[in-house]
Every structure is written in structure tokens, then in C-alpha cells.
Amino acid sequence: MRAHTKATQDSLSPEAAMSILKEGNERFVRNLRSNRNLLQMVNETRDGQWPFAVVLSCIDSRTSAELIFDQGLGDIFSARVAGNVVNEDILGSMEYAVKYAGSKLVLVLGHTKCGAVTSACKKVKDGNITALLHKIKPAIERASKESDSATDDPRFIERVAELNVFEAMEEIRERSTIISGLEKEGKIKVVGAVYDVETGLVSFFDE
């Protein structure tokens, strides 16, 4: 497979961009990764990059977006922070991706068995981790309204991980007029998904 060019990027709709990620994850799960000459892709992208999507995911070592979506050099922007939470720098990076670099899709990717979500549910407080985990609190509050389960119940924690993705999507739209504006114009799409660390499967919320 070749690296994306401006022409291939321009030709994609947000829906087509999402389909590329879904198809890539299916290849990953089936262990049928695309044949790529990475050195060739280095040469192809030396004068520019044309990523079709920007993915916000957790720093968890099992959730590399390039791997689980079977993408190559220059294909996607990857923004990573524990708990896939949103902050000013993440928003700025996403805005650059969609407004100036031409990406068609903003994906918030949570995952099962997330250490940050688990720690937030257990009210861990330690150094700068405290402020980071505080950003997951809205998802915990939403989950608590849905269920009387204990916050250390594995099912509760997994629900928080899902709701944390929705919270991030809502925050992106609320705090970024650039992203929300482009989405309203139909030029981009903001979507959410959860990666299963046991199966390798990504479940998109549009399904």
C-alpha cells in the first residue's frame, strides 16, 4: 500500500475515512495486515503528509492506533493521553489536523480495562495524576446515575470507559468552534469507539 496523497485525502468523505479504519481493524483482528514498504512510505511522505483522520486514544501500550487500524506512515494523526481525555493541547492538535492538514475524521478511542478509568473510579490521588483523573469524573457521575453498582465493579468501570468517550466527543464539540463548525458543514465527522484489549476488536458507537 502507498502513503496517502493530497488527491486521495481530498477524495475521501468522513464516512469513507471511517470505513478505512473499520476495514483496517478487521485486518488486524484477522492477522491479515496490509503489505507495506515502510521505507518507501518514508520517501513518499518526505515532502508532506496527508492524514485522513486524527485519533485521540489512551497512552496504554496496547492501544497504538496505527497498529490496531493497520495504517502506515502518514495515514493518521495520533494524539495520546492517559484516559483519552480532552485538554487545550489536544483540541489545538485536532483543530490543526482538520483545518490545516485536511483530516476528515476525528475519532475518540477508549478501551477496555483502562488503568486511568479504573484509577479515577477508585478516586486515586497522586501528583499530577490527580488533575488528569478529575477529567474522567463527569463519566463516573453519568454512570452512577444509570446504576447503583459499586464504583469498583468491573462492569461499572467498563461503562465509565464508554461514557468517557461520549464525554470527550461532547467536549470537543463544545470547546472547539473550528471542529463543530466543520462537522456542521459535513466536511468532517466526530465519532467514538472502544477497543477491546482481549480481542483486538474496535466497536464504533455508530453501530
The predicted structure's pLDDT at residue 10:
83
Query: Bridge partners of 56?
Result: 79, 108
Give the helix ranges, DSSP H, for 96-153. 115-121, 129-134, 137-146
121 marked ligand binding residue: no
Spatial CB neighbours of 48, under 8 Å, sequence gap ≥ 6 = 6
pLDDT tens string 99-153: 999 999 999 999 999 999 999 999 999 999 999 999 999 999 999 999 877 788 8
58 marked ligand binding residue: yes
pLDDT tens string 8-26: 888 999 999 999 999 999 9
The predicted structure's pLDDT at residue 181:
98
Spatial CB neighbours of 134, under 8 Å, sequence gap ≥ 6 = 120
153 marked ligand binding residue: no
Domains of the chain: 6-204 (3.40.1050.10)
Count of positions (residues) in the chain: 207
pLDDT tens string 84-103: 999 999 999 999 999 999 99
Q: What is the pTM of this model?
A: 0.93
134 marked ligand binding residue: no
